[in-house]
Chain A
């Protein structure tokens, strides 16, 4: 066992359930750690893993989600209705694309699902700011 795994296993053995047989408990933790290391290595080498463009394409698209989250802090006047509306339709279509493409790309699917939510929220903020959703348009007095 590598020193790292033994240390991690030892740390795990202090964490949760009552220990009836401490040595057995530690062994179970070691196996769990070894399994997760193996699946991590499998991920690294998978056909949709970080050595391939199938990974980095979707990672780039998370940029839209992050940009959307950052822009949620900005005033609605700064939101582009064109771009946000386009993003909403775009992410909807690409959720389907991610499902149908070969190889199927769950990371891309997750990315566009998140982006859809963020962009719809931004769209609602923009629409409210423009007076479409019954909110007062900034700078205009309400007639009611």
Chain B
């Protein structure tokens, strides 16, 4: 029984023998890179890049439910991308716009 389930997955149209599997699987690399970069100082975070990551994540979450074959792997990875993108953006925005206010208030 286990073998036939495994075979069903193995032979799936979005399974490991196809690009439909490996492309989204690799896309996790972007989210992982973003998580690895979450310890970097916010000055090094790039606004254009993180906006691109977030926008891509959001739009592609929708896209992955509309293509043939439907690709839940792609869906989940784009949800994660949007999440890490938003996290990086909030870090940078907080650093750029809110911590300076605190420093200015402290000076007064």
- A interface list, Cβ under 8 A from B: 52-54, 56-57, 59-61, 63-64, 66-68, 70-71, 74, 77-78, 80, 82-83, 85-87, 89-90, 93-94, 96-97, 100-103
Contacts and interface: CB of A to CB of B under 8 A. Distances in A.
A63 B52 contact: yes
Contacts, number: 98
B94 interface: no
B19 A86 contact: no
A13 B12 CA distance: 58
16 contacts: A52-B66, A54-B66, A56-B63, A61-B52, A67-B46, A67-B49, A74-B46, A83-B34, A83-B37, A83-B49, A85-B33, A89-B29, A93-B22, A94-B23, A97-B23, A102-B68
B36 interface: yes
Interface residues of B, number: 33
A12 B73 CA distance: 51
A53 B37 contact: no
Interface in B1-49: 18-20, 22-23, 26-27, 29-30, 32-34, 36-37, 40, 44, 46, 48-49
Contacts of A96: 19, 23
Interface of B: 18-20, 22-23, 26-27, 29-30, 32-34, 36-37, 40, 44, 46, 48-49, 51-53, 55-56, 58-60, 62-63, 66-69
A53 B66 contact: yes
A132 to B, nearest CB: 18
A57 B30 contact: no
B56 A80 contact: no
Given A60-B56, A68-B49, 13 more contacts: A53-B62, A54-B63, A54-B66, A56-B59, A60-B52, A67-B48, A80-B46, A83-B34, A90-B30, A97-B19, A102-B67, A102-B68, A102-B69
A83 B31 CA distance: 9
